[in-house]
Structure 1
Amino acid sequence: MAPTTLPSPFLDPGAYSASNSLGIIQLRRDHLIPAVLSSSADSEYAEGKVENTRFGSFPHSTLLDQPWGTQILASIVDTGSRGKSKKRKRGTNDEGEEAPATDLKVEHVRKDTVKTAAAASSGFAHLVPPSPETWTLCLPHRTQVVYTPDYSYILQRLRVRPGDHIIEAGAGSGSFTHAAVRAVFNGYTSPGAFADGAETASAENGTVASKKRRRKHGGVYSYEFHAPRAKQLGIEIEEHGLGPVVTITNRDVYEDGFCLQNKDEEQIAPNADAIFLDLPAPWLALKHLTRSPPSPAVLKAVAAASDPSTPNAESSVSTSPQPPKPFHTALNPKGPVRICTFSPCIEQVTKTVSAMRSLGWIEIDMVEIMAKRLEVRRERIGLQEEGLRGANPSAATVFEAVQRLRDVEGRAKVFHGLQKEKQSEIMKRAEAKKRGEKVPAAKGEEGEGKNTVKVDGLPPSKHDRLERAKRDLEKRELFKEGRLVHRTEPELKTHTSYLVFAVLPREWTKEDEERAAKKWK
Structure 2
Amino acid sequence: MWSSTRQIAAGDLVIVWMTRDNIQPLVVSPGKDFNSKYGNYRQADFVGVPYGSKVGSRTGKGFVYLLRPTPELWTLALPHRTQILYLADIAFITSRLNIRRGSRVIEAGTGSGSFTHSVARTIGDSGHLWSYEFHEVRANKARCEFTRHGMTNIVTLTHRNVCKEGFTVDNTADSVFLDLPAPWDAVEHAKRALRKDRITRICCFSPCMEQVLRTVAALNDTGFTEIAMYETLLRPHEVAQVPQLASIGDISGKLKEAEKRREEKRLRQIANNKARSSAAAGAETPAITSTKRKRDDEDDTELVDETITQDLTPGDTSPDTKRVKTAEGDEGVEAEGGAITASVELDMINAEGIEGGLVTDESRTDFTIPSSNLIPNSRISVSNALPEVRGHTSYLTFAVLVPFSVPVDSSGTKPEDSSGQPTLAPTAGASSATSSSEAENKSSIVVP
TM-score range, shorter chain: 0.5 to 0.7
5 Å matches for 1:216-227?
A: 217-227=126-136
User: How far apart are residue 483 of structure 1 and its match?
Assistant: 4.5
> How far apart are the structure 1 equivalents of 2:427 and 2:212?
39
Quick check: 2:13–2:28 contact (8 Å CA) kept in 1? yes
Structure 1 counterpart of 2:114, from 162, 172, 175? 175
Structure 2 counterpart of 1:54, from 37, 50, 75? 37
Q: Which amino acid aligns with 2:18?
A: L
Structure 2 counterpart of 1:343, from 182, 206, 217? 206
> How far apart are the structure 2 equivalents of 1:370 and 1:515?
38
Matching of residue 358 in structure 1 with residue 250 in structure 2: no
User: How far apart are residue 495 of structure 1 and its match?
Assistant: 4.6
* CA shift in 2, pair 1:494/1:128, >3 Å: farther
Deviations 1:86-138 (A, max 9, x none): xxxxxxxxxxxxxxxxxxxxxxxxxxxxxxxxxx2311111111111111111
Aligned length: 283
Deviations 1:384-409 (A, max 9, x none): xxxxxxxxxxxxxxxxxxxxxxxxxx
Quick check: 1:135–1:175 contact (8 Å CA) kept in 2? yes
User: 1:257 maps to which residue?
Assistant: 166
Structure 2 counterpart of 1:277, from 173, 178, 182? 178
Q: State percent identity of aligned pairs.
A: 40
Q: Which amino acid aligns with 1:249?
A: T
Q: Which amino acid aligns with 1:34?
A: P
Q: Which amino acid aligns with 1:59?
A: R
> How far apart are the structure 2 equivalents of 1:515 and 1:483?
59
User: 2:17 maps to which residue?
Assistant: 26
Identify unmatched segments of 5+ residues in structure 2: 244-376, 409-423, 429-434, 437-448
SS state of the match for residue 351, structure 1?
helix
* CA shift in 2, pair 1:227/1:492, >3 Å: farther
> How far apart are the structure 1 equivalents of 2:199 and 2:119?
19
User: 2:237 maps to which residue?
Assistant: 374
> How far apart are the structure 2 equivalents of 1:235 and 1:14?
22
User: How far apart are residue 16 of structure 1 and its match?
Assistant: 2.2
User: How far apart are residue 58 of structure 1 and its match?
Assistant: 2.2
SS state of the match for residue 510, structure 1?
coil
* CA shift in 2, pair 1:124/1:16, >3 Å: same
Structure 2 counterpart of 1:37, from 23, 28, 32? 28
User: How far apart are residue 372 of structure 1 and its match?
Assistant: 2.5
> How far apart are the structure 2 equivalents of 1:514 and 1:256?
29
* CA shift in 2, pair 1:223/1:330, >3 Å: same
Quick check: 2:107–2:178 contact (8 Å CA) kept in 1? yes
SS state of the match for residue 121, structure 1?
coil
5 Å matches for 1:81-230?
A: 120-185=59-124, 187=125, 217-230=126-139
> How far apart are the structure 2 equivalents of 1:372 and 1:514?
44
User: How far apart are residue 514 of structure 1 and its match?
Assistant: 11
> How far apart are the structure 2 equivalents of 1:356 and 1:273?
17
User: 2:155 maps to which residue?
Assistant: 246
Quick check: 1:170–1:279 contact (8 Å CA) kept in 2? yes
User: 2:53 maps to which residue?
Assistant: 70
Q: Which amino acid aligns with 2:182?
A: A
Q: Which amino acid aligns with 1:36?
A: V
* CA shift in 2, pair 1:490/1:54, >3 Å: farther
* CA shift in 2, pair 1:220/1:51, >3 Å: same
User: 1:508 maps to which residue?
Assistant: 405
Quick check: 2:176–2:194 contact (8 Å CA) kept in 1? no
Quick check: 1:336–1:506 contact (8 Å CA) kept in 2? yes
Larger Rg: 2
SS state of the match for residue 57, structure 2?
strand
SS state of the match for residue 398, structure 2?
strand
SS state of the match for residue 92, structure 2?
helix
User: How far apart are residue 165 of structure 1 and its match?
Assistant: 1.0
Quick check: 1:147–1:494 contact (8 Å CA) kept in 2? no
> How far apart are the structure 2 equivalents of 1:235 and 1:491?
39
Deviations 1:126-163 (A, max 9, x none): 11111111111111111111111111111111110111
> How far apart are the structure 1 equivalents of 2:151 and 2:140?
15
TM-score of the superposed pair, with normalisation by structure 1: 0.51
SS state of the match for residue 153, structure 1?
helix
> How far apart are the structure 1 equivalents of 2:167 and 2:93?
20
Quick check: 2:33–2:41 contact (8 Å CA) kept in 1? yes
SS state of the match for residue 221, structure 1?
strand
Quick check: 2:233–2:390 contact (8 Å CA) kept in 1? no
> How far apart are the structure 1 equivalents of 2:426 and 2:236?
54
Q: Which amino acid aligns with 1:220?
A: L
Deviations 1:477-502 (A, max 9, x none): xxx96542334467756753110011
Quick check: 2:241–2:382 contact (8 Å CA) kept in 1? yes
Identify unmatched segments of 5+ residues in structure 1: 1-7, 40-47, 76-119, 188-216, 260-267, 291-328, 381-479
Quick check: 1:149–1:494 contact (8 Å CA) kept in 2? no
